Homo-oligomer: A and B are copies of this chain.
């Protein structure tokens, strides 16, 4: 399971005194982005090859609020990959190991005209690495 940590930023809090919920989707994206970077599947390269992978589904449960002063860890796992779509599972915990959030996101590969594409056809070597990555995670 891949882990990504950083401190909460002040501007991520709201007047409830906790992190605003919209930021968690951003933390998941940060973690996903570093995860793919580390496995030679960096977004910045994929996009330069004309392929984007927007989110299509987001299902999360908010269990406990993060606060300014906390350091959060996103634990993520690639749980599905079909060549045209992939699915990622997440847990976010704080520095005390307390569960803050769990959930899943789904993503599809599209081109710059927002049309669905098959990764095996368009970037075969990335497809191979995605397949291997899935096997490692399961």
- Measured CB to CB, the residues of A under 8 A from B are 6, 9-11, 13-18, 20-23, 25-26, 29-30, 33, 42-44, 47, 52, 54-62, 65, 68-69, 114
Contact = CB atoms under 8 A, between A and B. Distances in A.
A80 B14 CA distance: 26
Q: Tell me if A's interface is mostly helix, strand, loop or mixed.
A: mixed
A21 B34 CA distance: 18
Q: Assembly of this chain: how many copies?
A: 4
7 contacts: A10-B30, A15-B15, A15-B16, A15-B47, A21-B55, A42-B69, A44-B68
Given A15-B14, A54-B65, A9 B30 contact: yes
B30 A20 contact: no
Contact of A10 (B6, B18, B43, B60): B43
Nearest to A58: B60
Most central of A13, A15, A22, A44 by chain B CB within 10 Å: A15
